[in-house]
A and B are shown apart, each in its own frame.
Chain A
């Protein structure tokens, strides 16, 4: 076993995992508030990356403007989605809600192809390129800086979630909708807010991924791993999103590095199957109690 390579891969994996954790966090926020599982998450990442491409590449806005603008646009896309197609579906069967987000993902892919063309594109570089060495250990600086940005965003989110008014309303709604409603919290607004908030995290992650991995209308497929992350961690657990993101990111990278890319999916989905058998509601998810 090549320990140096293992450590390097592990670091790279944890960096990827940090970005996974960011997407998963966005996902969990949306799920906690609205009980909607968003299969279009990868496509929202992809579209947001195209927003960035447009702002930074085509409009040639400076980075400090283009990046936040793209993130906010991604959030607004989420808000719009919630208003137009998610809200009417609340209370419908899970299959309908899942399918409406799958429908959305098809629309987004097609739209991206029409607007930006079907071929792969490269985002304007905004991440440093020189490799970083920690002693002998090599880390790609693109990935490391992406991870740093993701972690910074994660910390902002967690603080916000904990201390701000909006965060409290969100948590209250997640734990008891009827009670929050009776306490004067506007539940529909919280729902909308959760989608905007969640999709902003998603958008940033999408841009970070595309910055190092390239972008095409089919990049949304990368979000398959996110589904595994959130199920693994527990759909309604923020801690689960963070831990799950890191573990899955790490596992995926290690498997890819040592056995080859085609084993990545197999590994994480096998892990997922095991988790479902052993702990059906993920590491930290709450079990749904059923009553007659």
Chain B
């Protein structure tokens, strides 16, 4: 694998007295699946928010293809291709599925106010092209043709997560950031989602950064695993290596009772889904 596509350098983020992230540094190989794991409250979502630009870290830099993007506003970062999904589903409830997905493409569209008001020429052309593209690439791929005109609020949890992924794909990701993509899903939905993620990585050559609690899935599909604990990176490397790292076992897997931890995480995810 080539140069890193995203590099984090010494990211430190505090909320008042709380250090959510402390000197976090790692990089992501282009074309790989990197997974961030860590116990609840470790700072994984905060890390995502920092990469998206929603949180401004007190120290550290975010480099995208070697360029410092630390001062870039969130919408600009989206336009660069930092596309993400959210841990707590953040669909726009007043819109249909297709409109939610179209919104993802927002920063690549050109339509200005006047042409939007008359919906003629460019506005119309652009909308139709976008529709074609979304239909043929995203909707087909994620198998959501049957729900495209439904309001998102009427969908099941699993489908909502899928629509979120679709919306992120519409951004035209250079890096796809997935915050707990299978949390709260049933087995079948999880398998579907894992398949989509693998396909995206292997067939679309997409670079993926993911937060996930489901260890089975993490170990199965990650090229690289980064372990966060209390805002610090305590280990990183190949999945198999990290799994054996004693520090990780101590911090993350608790007193060694893995089954118990799984049960706990499962329960949490279920309640998060409700």
Chain B residues contacting A292 (CB-CB under 8 Å) are 45, 49, 54, 86, 90
Q: How far is the CB of B57 from chain A (nearest CB, A)?
A: 15
Considering only CB atoms, which chain B residue lies closest to A289 in the complex? B15
| 5 pairs of residues in contact across A and B, judged by CB atoms under 8 Å | A292-B45, A292-B49, A292-B54, A292-B86, A292-B90
Q: A: which residues have CB within 8 A of B?
A: 292
A-B contact count (CB 8 A): 5
Q: How far is the CB of A121 from chain B (nearest CB, A)?
A: 48
Q: B: which residues have CB within 8 A of A?
A: 45, 49, 54, 86, 90
3 tightest A-B contacts by CB? A292-B54, A292-B49, A292-B86
Considering only CB atoms, which chain A residue lies closest to B54 in the complex? A292
Q: Considering the chains assembled together, what is the distance between the CA atoms of A292 and B90 in angstroms?
A: 8
Q: How far is the CB of B153 from chain A (nearest CB, A)?
A: 15
Q: Considering the chains assembled together, what is the distance between the CA atoms of A292 and B45 in angstroms?
A: 9
Q: How far is the CB of A228 from chain B (nearest CB, A)?
A: 31
Q: Considering the chains assembled together, what is the distance between the CA atoms of A292 and B54 in angstroms?
A: 8
Chain A residues contacting B90 (CB-CB under 8 Å) are 292
Chain A residues contacting B54 (CB-CB under 8 Å) are 292
Q: Considering the chains assembled together, what is the distance between the CA atoms of A292 and B74 in angstroms?
A: 13
Q: How far is the CB of B203 from chain A (nearest CB, A)?
A: 30
Considering only CB atoms, which chain A residue lies closest to B48 in the complex? A292
Considering only CB atoms, which chain A residue lies closest to B55 in the complex? A292
Chain A residues contacting B49 (CB-CB under 8 Å) are 292
Chain A residues contacting B45 (CB-CB under 8 Å) are 292
Q: Considering the chains assembled together, what is the distance between the CA atoms of A292 and B85 in angstroms?
A: 11
Q: How far is the CB of A199 from chain B (nearest CB, A)?
A: 34
Considering only CB atoms, which chain A residue lies closest to B90 in the complex? A292
Q: How far is the CB of B23 from chain A (nearest CB, A)?
A: 23
Q: Considering the chains assembled together, what is the distance between the CA atoms of A132 and B178 in angstroms?
A: 73
Q: How far is the CB of A96 from chain B (nearest CB, A)?
A: 14
Q: How far is the CB of A91 from chain B (nearest CB, A)?
A: 14
Q: How far is the CB of A95 from chain B (nearest CB, A)?
A: 14
Q: Considering the chains assembled together, what is the distance between the CA atoms of A292 and B52 in angstroms?
A: 11
Q: Considering the chains assembled together, what is the distance between the CA atoms of A292 and B50 in angstroms?
A: 11
Considering only CB atoms, which chain B residue lies closest to A290 in the complex? B54
Q: How far is the CB of B109 from chain A (nearest CB, A)?
A: 23
Chain A residues contacting B86 (CB-CB under 8 Å) are 292
Q: Considering the chains assembled together, what is the distance between the CA atoms of A292 and B49 in angstroms?
A: 8
Q: Considering the chains assembled together, what is the distance between the CA atoms of A292 and B86 in angstroms?
A: 8
Q: How far is the CB of A195 from chain B (nearest CB, A)?
A: 30
Q: How far is the CB of A264 from chain B (nearest CB, A)?
A: 40
Q: How far is the CB of A272 from chain B (nearest CB, A)?
A: 29
Q: How far is the CB of A291 from chain B (nearest CB, A)?
A: 9
Q: How far is the CB of B52 from chain A (nearest CB, A)?
A: 8
Q: How far is the CB of A242 from chain B (nearest CB, A)?
A: 27
Q: How far is the CB of B73 from chain A (nearest CB, A)?
A: 15
Q: How far is the CB of A287 from chain B (nearest CB, A)?
A: 12
Considering only CB atoms, which chain A residue lies closest to B52 in the complex? A292
Q: Considering the chains assembled together, what is the distance between the CA atoms of A283 and B45 in angstroms?
A: 32
Q: How far is the CB of B37 from chain A (nearest CB, A)?
A: 20
Q: Considering the chains assembled together, what is the distance between the CA atoms of A278 and B86 in angstroms?
A: 32
Q: How far is the CB of A40 from chain B (nearest CB, A)?
A: 28
Q: Considering the chains assembled together, what is the distance between the CA atoms of A292 and B51 in angstroms?
A: 13
Q: How far is the CB of A266 from chain B (nearest CB, A)?
A: 34
Q: Considering the chains assembled together, what is the distance between the CA atoms of A292 and B179 in angstroms?
A: 11
Q: How far is the CB of A92 from chain B (nearest CB, A)?
A: 14
Q: How far is the CB of B18 from chain A (nearest CB, A)?
A: 13
